[in-house]
Structure 1
Amino acid sequence: MIERYTRREMGQIWSDLNKFRLWLKVELAVCRAWHKLGKIPDEALKEIEKRTFVDEKVVEKIYQYERVYKHDVLAFVSAINEQIQEYSHYFHMGLTSSDVVDTALALQIREALSLILEGLEKVIQRLRSLAIEHKNTLMMGRTHGVHAEPMTLGLKFLSWYEEMKRNKKRLLQALEDISYGKLSGAVGTYSNLDPRVEELALEELGLKVEPVSTQVVPRDRHAQVMYALASTACALERFATEIRHLQRTELLEVLEPFGKGQRGSSAMPHKKNPIHAERLCGLARIIRANLLVALENIPLWHERDISHSSAERVILPDSTIALDYMLNLFLEILEGLVVNPERMLGNMELSHGLFASSKVLVKLMEKGVHRDKAYDMVQRCAMRSWEEGIAFEKSLMEDQEVNAFLSQEEIRQALDPWSFLKHIDQIYERSLD
């Protein structure tokens, strides 16, 4: 992911420096396991632990070896062996490259997901606060972009809150299911290893043993991570799309923050564009597309090929970096969101009260009017209201057939927008219990 969308902490997680340090962490855990089984002497382990390290100079040394070897793990092993020359025969003993790479990758993904979950929790709490704050902020609900029935802005936020709680569950489950390593050798048979080495080393690393591995950890685990990332990104895109629609000049009900000194257009000084919401939508497309790549990484040849490797080096850093950025950008939008309740009420009047058509329909049915007949009556009054630009209430009260069943007071009750929200407390209780 480009620097523009990379927050420092997440960027460090995916740096080569951190990657190689995690590789070393795995290798040392294996050395300690061999030591416990009597394969590495006390003095050798002590010196290996004391001498081995990874810093920027070591990273550069790894790069130098890789330019020759064309193999990053062997380059890493050679660079570390320079630090422990007389003990180098104990380092990477019995392992294949994927033992180190896949196990360390699990640790790396865990770090990334933990950071994402921190940002997600902040968004969840902010959405909860906004849902409570705007519980009674009346606005028009829309379907197909057209006025439907009254709702509140708080209900919209409550829907977002619930969706992000579901995404939190998905990410937590992905965190659990990616927390597996493998130290079982070339095709997973422990041909040059002892299963106890795997158990001891992974326990130290806080990972579980992959029950049946090949040369790699099965890639359905990584695809599950990508699905959790993509699902969360798509949720943010849904919310951002709503903000973009509500910020249109014709609506102006909700606007993303526009800071002092900010400029919206190089040509039109009046512009306040929803650029941050649009950015969220664009980045979501990348993460969603990366999910397809993760799914295609699952069917590898036989016990392993490396077609997944090059793809993962792009999609996993890019997707976690992008989502981390998106969550924090969305939080900024929520914290500075501009809400215009007066405009919401004004926009409700644009359809002359036609939002009450369903209430009138039900009231007529309750009076015993056949549903199709009632529908025709209400539709006739609604079309007159719309075509003549008169209040729906007036159209209803002047319709003799409607008046034969409904009193003027009953019509007024049906037109009360709050009559649509009589169960809002129950919805909130169900969500915020």
Structure 2
Amino acid sequence: MIPRYSRPAMRDLWSEQRKLEIWLQIELLAVEALANAGLVPRKDCEVLKSRASFDLERCKELERTLNHDVIAFTTCVAERVNDPASRWLHFGLTSSDILDTAFAVQLVQAADLLISDVKELLTAIAKRAREHRDTPCIGRSHGIHAEPISFGLKLALMYDEFSRALQRLENARKTVAVGKISGAVGTNAHLSPAIEAQVCRKLGLRPAPVSSQIVQRDVHAEFMLALALVAASVERWATEFRHLQRTEVLETEEFFAKGQKGSSAMPHKRNPITFERLTGLARVIRGHAITALENVSLWHERDISHSSAERIIFPDACALLDYMLVTLTNLMQNLLVYPENMRRNLDLSLGLWHSQAVMLALIRKGLTREQAYEIVQRVAMQTWEAKHAGRTDADFLSQLKQDAEVARYLDSKEIDRICSLKFHLRHVKTRFRKVGL
């Protein structure tokens, strides 16, 4: 991933240097397991442990001739060991024993970074949700005013979604924490399952119950799908806050730093560019998920059609999601919230968001649902007509109190009691408790 959309810790994890360090660790663990089983002289094992190293540039030089990255690596290590003990390097192994097991180590470490990111994001969301638990705003369905909610409740919904994101990443970490040291076609013909188990255990992995030349790619597809789902959650909330920053809405706003510029042509602009950036990056990860799914179908015990794609999509997706989560955390910590605009927007729909409460009150008075619906809809349409006519009684409560048919069932005091903001928000505290806020 380009540096613009990645952070140092995740970049380092997916660097060539780090990958080869893990390869060397696996090679030495395999030799150690063989020595423990009495299959390799202990002194040779100690020679390898003390001398084994590699030079990245030498590995690249060898690969240009050999056209095989693992053979280039083992050749480089053997050169630096410069001892007959080097014959035990890669003994009984196939390239994918190293590649897939190292890949699992990298994915687990990447998952740990992402899990930490989500936990920090949850802390930021929780703080803002508690701050605005009782801040009323309008709820919207189809982009149209529906009924009141609180801004804190909206953020509680966000908190709950990223709590699920955390669970997904934890589950994905568990799924992908699987290695294999089972040889060329997964039969353990040259290294026993006991050797495999010992190596995997020391790496914090479990051995695949059964494998071919590789760990099956549905495992990795599941991991990528988890990343894509978390990215989709980031996109969902980035989109929400982009809408809330529209000039005519302006209930929240992405913070605008001192000295920042919004447009090369229009000096007045303050755009939600960071939320927009997150929206775009989610699309990239979603595309990588398609590739991961296509990697599941390989020939027989293995081909390498998946390999070239994986070298791109997994480092990219992990780096992008890490960047996205940390960026969203910063946005939430610094989000500008305008309660007065929320109240203004509540008033734009003339109290019509009380319509369901009035309809249900009429049903309780004995009307059928159809009768109650027709009465309330008629009064609602009258309210809009009064608004368009510029009349002073252009609000839903006034129209209700003036309506003779409504008056047969509800008096003015009943209407006032039913049509209160407090009524709509009376269970917000309960919802907060249910999500752990």
SS state of the match for residue 148, structure 1?
A: strand
SS state of the match for residue 162, structure 2?
A: helix
CA distance in 1, matches of 2:418, 2:66: 78
1:339 alignment partner in structure 2 = 337
Q: After TM superposition, give the deviation of residue 198 of structure 1 in Å.
A: 0.7
2:70 alignment partner in structure 1 = 73
**Deviations 1:7-59, CA, capped at 9 Å, x for gaps:** 001000000000000111111110100111112222211111111124xxx11
1:266 to 244, 264, 267: 264
2:56 to 59, 70, 75: 59
2:281 to 283, 288, 293: 283
CA distance in 2, matches of 1:202, 1:428: 42
Q: For 1:11-410, what aligned pairs fall within 5 Å after superposition?
A: 11-54=11-54, 58-86=55-83, 87-389=85-387, 390-410=394-414
- For 1:64, the aligned partner's letter is E
- 8 Å contact from structure 2 (residues 53, 81) kept in 1: no
Identity of aligned residues (%): 44
Q: After TM superposition, give the deviation of residue 387 of structure 1 in Å.
A: 2.3
SS state of the match for residue 82, structure 1?
A: helix
Alignment: residue pair count: 430
CA distance in 1, matches of 2:101, 2:351: 62
- 8 Å contact from structure 2 (residues 128, 333) kept in 1: no
Structure 1 runs of 4+ aligned residues shifted over 2 Å read none
- For 1:37, the aligned partner's letter is A
2:10 alignment partner in structure 1 = 10
CA distance in 2, matches of 1:137, 1:414: 20
Q: After TM superposition, give the deviation of residue 379 of structure 1 in Å.
A: 0.4
Question: Mean Cα displacement is larger for which, 378-387 or 11-20?
Answer: 378-387
Structure 2 unaligned regions, length at least 5:
388-393
SS state of the match for residue 139, structure 2?
A: strand
CA distance in 1, matches of 2:256, 2:196: 54
Q: After TM superposition, give the deviation of residue 222 of structure 1 in Å.
A: 0.6
Question: Mean Cα displacement is larger for which, 210-219 or 85-94?
Answer: 85-94
What root-mean-square deviation, in Å, do the aligned CA atoms of Structure 1 and Structure 2 show? 1.0
- For 1:406, the aligned partner's letter is L
Q: TM-score, normalised by structure 1?
A: 0.98
Structure 1 unaligned regions, length at least 5:
none
**Deviations 1:110-168, CA, capped at 9 Å, x for gaps:** 11110111111000111112111110010000000000000001001101111111111
- For 1:427, the aligned partner's letter is R
CA distance in 1, matches of 2:188, 2:313: 30
- For 2:370, the aligned partner's letter is D
Q: TM-score, normalised by structure 2?
A: 0.97
CA distance in 2, matches of 1:149, 1:195: 62
SS state of the match for residue 141, structure 1?
A: strand
Q: After TM superposition, give the deviation of residue 85 of structure 1 in Å.
A: 2.8
- For 1:428, the aligned partner's letter is F
CA distance in 2, matches of 1:301, 1:347: 59
**Deviations 1:295-350, CA, capped at 9 Å, x for gaps:** 11111110101111111111100100000000010011011100000000001111
CA distance in 2, matches of 1:160, 1:340: 18
CA distance in 2, matches of 1:429, 1:107: 37
CA distance in 1, matches of 2:435, 2:110: 29
- For 1:409, the aligned partner's letter is K
CA distance in 2, matches of 1:325, 1:30: 35
CA distance in 2, matches of 1:187, 1:286: 34
